[in-house]
Every structure is written in structure tokens, then in C-alpha cells.
Amino acid sequence: MPQPSNNFTKWVACWGNATSITDRKECVYAKDITLRYPIRIVFSGSKLRFRFSNLTGTEPITISAAKINHTAITFRTEESVIIEPGKEVTSDEIAFDVTAGDTVDVSIYLAEYTQMNAGTLITGPLSKGKYAYGNFIDEEEFPTDLSRNTNWFYFLNTIDILTEEKNHALVCYGDSITAQSWPDYLAMRAWDKGFRNVAVIRRAVSGTRILRQYDCITYQAYGLKGETRFPIELNVAGARDVIIQHGINDIIHPVGSDVNIFRPWSDMPTVDELKQGMENLYIRHAKKLGLKVWSGTLLPIFGWRTYNAEREAMRCEFNEWLRTSTLFDGCIDFDKAVRNPEKTEAFNIGYDSGDHLHPSEKAYSAMADAVMEELLR
């Protein structure tokens, strides 16, 4: 059982995700649908609060009801809330005793036609969701014939817990590499090693870049540029450190407008521009918030469809700066953890997912192992 509530005096984020533009498919609305997300809580505490986001929506959305297990999540005492486009809302503080290690279900019911334009695709052993056609917010289980699994997390952005002073959050910021499994493996590693005072908060969007963003529906799901994303996503209660593993999409995306009109060569940055972007958009803001900033090197790309010697040289030069710059509090050498020591531009054997850009599950576990223990203690 949780400790007496008078020990719980500090709000700390215990789960978090980015909010981005969802993939622009033929159907972008839902009606009469229940979403459910199992969330493992790593701290004991006595109250919870929830942030819901319509940051990338272009229309107001109505959450008809939201619950944690069977407890209503309220907004100024009301059980439903309208979230205007481009806005986020935080719930009332909900009295809810939780013990470290508990898994709770956060359910959201959308009764009316709802623009599903604010969410993020994430994967990993701790990142699962379900949806069902109909209102099943009060049901223990969804009906099998009306439900499916999903890795799209819509609207639910952050969960904070009123917990002990010793607890803190570690933010993992990046693109599809971070939207996939290594933050989950890091959270599992911390738990298994007995480091129970850290929550791993994922702020990641597949396809996103430091310096650019796409404004066409073909690639809108690749997310907002770093200048826009970072200040919003660093709104994390109790954060102490941020790991930034970002920049590979800036290097690999441009192919020339004769090949793809949305990916002109003018989008290709110099390494100096990447460094300046990292410093001006990320490091300075994080330091203002009092956070320690840890760089994460970019992974091998040999065999990726746009790989060439020039891009590889950029990756290596940028990585060397990430390893050596005194602007950071330290470097997590993800590249070294997953590369082939005999052919450093490529993944090690068994560490390539098959597309030569994203790691395998084994490699994601190795990335988690590369994070120094001082960030977890």
C-alpha cells in the first residue's frame, strides 16, 4: 500500500508522450469509440492529474468521459471537456492511491464525431493500447469482436503523480528511434536494478527533424520542428535530466525536388547548422529549466535508401561533436552501442531491424544499457 499521504509533497510526471499530427489517412474522424491505455506507475502516490492535448488539432474535440480504472477524471468538476485546437488541458487533481509497480487503465470515451489529429505512434513492451467501437468506459474488458489493439496514443499526453520528494523524471527526446522501444527497456532496466525513484518520460515523434517540418498532408505526421516541439514537450513536472537523440532525419530526408517535391535539397543542413540548432533550440532552453542535458549519438545508416558517403560524413562529424562538446553534461554513445566494430557505418550483426535505419529489439535493449546509471539513481 502507499505510504501515508503526508509523505507525498511533490508532483512528478510518471508517464508521458509527445503529441503530434497523426498520419493523414482517408478517415480522420471517429465517433462512439472508447480508447484504453494501460499505464505502469513507477512511484507510490496519493493523487494523479492528467494532461490531454489537442496541440495539433484544427478543430475543437470533446472528451465525453475519461476514467482511471473506475474513477472519473474531471475538469473543473465536470466529467467532459472541450479542448480547443492547438491547446492542452489539465484535469483536476484526482485522489487515487497507487503503489509503485501498479498498472492502471486510462480510458477515454469519444461520443461525438472527433477529429483524431492529435496523437503519436509509439511502440515497446510497455506501450500498448486498445480501442473499441461503442461506450465501454465502465467495462472491465472490451468485447473481443468490437475491439482491436493499437499503438496510437490519442490525446493523452502526460500523467503526474503526487509523490515523494526523492522521485524525479528523465525525459527521452527524439524521433522514431525514441518513439520505438529503447525508453521502455530503459524503464524496465531501472526497475529491475532497483532504481525506483525515476520515471522515463518519452517525448518522441517519428520522422521529426531539428530544423524543418513538413506542411503537406503526405508528411505532416513527421511532426513539428524542434523549435516548436521542444519548449512544449519539456513541460514535465519533476524533470531532472533530458536525453536528446535527434538529427538523423535532417540528414537523410532531402533528395531533391526532382525526386520528391516535398524534399528539396535546400532542406539539407550543414553540420554547423545542426550544432547551432541543438544549442539554440534545445540546450539553452533545457538549461533555463535547470535540467541536465545529455547528448545521444546518431545511429548507423549504411544500407538505408538515401545513404551515401556525404551523409555518412555528416553523421560522423555531428556525432563527434555530440561526444565532445562541453555544452552537454555528458554523452550517451548509442552509436557505439549498436554499430559493427568492424564496419562502423553499419549496425552490428543482429542489431538491424531490416531497414538499415531502425534498430532491432536486441539493439534497443543495448541502447537502454548504454545509459549511465547516474541518470537512473
Q: Are residues 282 and 189 in the same domain?
A: yes
Q: Are residues 184 and 281 in the same domain?
A: yes
- What are the backbone angles phi and psi of residue 85, rounded to the nearest 5°? -60, 140
CB-side neighbour CA atoms (13 Å) of 324: 6
- With DSSP H G I counted as helix, E B as strand and the rest as coil, what are the percentages for the chain, rounded to 5? 25, 30, 45
pLDDT at residue 4 is higher than 70: no
pLDDT at residue 248 is higher than 80: yes
Give the mean pLDDT of 328-333.
Answer: 98
State residue 3's pLDDT score: 52
CA 320 centroid distance within chain: 25
pLDDT at residue 26 is higher than 90: no
Q: Are residues 89 and 207 in the same domain?
A: no
Q: Are residues 218 and 361 in the same domain?
A: yes
pTM of the full structure? 0.96
Q: Are residues 56 and 187 in the same domain?
A: no
pLDDT at residue 5 is higher than 80: no
Residues 6+ apart with CB under 8 A from 176: 204, 205, 206, 207, 358
State which of 98, 123, 158 marks the end of a domain: 158
Q: Are residues 54 and 192 in the same domain?
A: no
Q: Are residues 226 and 139 in the same domain?
A: no
> Residues 112, 115, 120, 125: is their CA dihedral positive or negative?
positive
Q: Are residues 146 and 187 in the same domain?
A: no
In a 3-state reduction of DSSP, which class is residue 306? coil
Q: Are residues 197 and 262 in the same domain?
A: yes
Give the mean pLDDT of 49-71.
Answer: 97
Give the mean pLDDT of 149-165.
Answer: 97
What pLDDT digit, counting tens, does each position of 172-184 carry? 999 999 999 999 9
Give the mean pLDDT of 80-85.
Answer: 98
Burial 170-192 (b: 16+ CB within 10 A, else e): bbbbbbbbbbbbbbbbbbbbbbe
* SS3 assignment for 103-146: EEEEEEEECCCEECCEEEECCCCCCCEEEEECCCCCCCCCCHHH
Q: How confident is residue 338, by pLDDT bands cut at 50, 70 and 90?
A: very high
pLDDT at residue 310 is higher than 60: yes
CA distance 377 to 375: 6
Domain harbouring 201, CATH code? 3.40.50.1110
State residue 25's pLDDT score: 82
Q: Are residues 324 and 349 in the same domain?
A: yes
State residue 27's pLDDT score: 82
State which of 139, 158, 177 marks the end of a domain: 158
Give the mean pLDDT of 222-243.
Answer: 96
Mean pLDDT of the chain: 96
Give the mean pLDDT of 9-32.
Answer: 93
What pLDDT digit, counting tens, does each position of 353-370 carry? 999 999 999 999 999 999
pLDDT at residue 273 is higher than 70: yes
Torsion of CA 64, 70, 71, 77, to 10 degrees: 30
pLDDT at residue 345 is higher than 60: yes
Give the mean pLDDT of 187-199.
Answer: 96
Residue-range definition of the domain harbouring residue 321: 167-375
State which of 158, 193, 219 marks the end of a domain: 158
- Residue 158 CA: distances (Å) to CA of 40, 77, 153, 370: 13, 19, 11, 26
Q: Are residues 351 and 231 in the same domain?
A: yes
Q: How confident is residue 164, by pLDDT bands cut at 50, 70 and 90?
A: very high
pLDDT > 70: what percent of the chain?
Answer: 98
pLDDT > 90: what percent of the chain?
Answer: 95
CA 262 centroid distance within chain: 25
pLDDT at residue 143 is higher than 60: yes
Q: How confident is residue 308, by pLDDT bands cut at 50, 70 and 90?
A: very high
Q: How many structural domains are present in the chain?
A: 2
Give the mean pLDDT of 215-220.
Answer: 92
Answer for the pair 174, 244: CB distance below 8 angstroms, yes or no: yes
Answer for the pair 209, 249: CB distance below 8 angstroms, yes or no: yes
Q: How confident is residue 106, by pLDDT bands cut at 50, 70 and 90?
A: very high
Beta-bridge mates of residue 330:
294
CA distance 69 to 45: 16
Q: Are residues 34 and 105 in the same domain?
A: yes
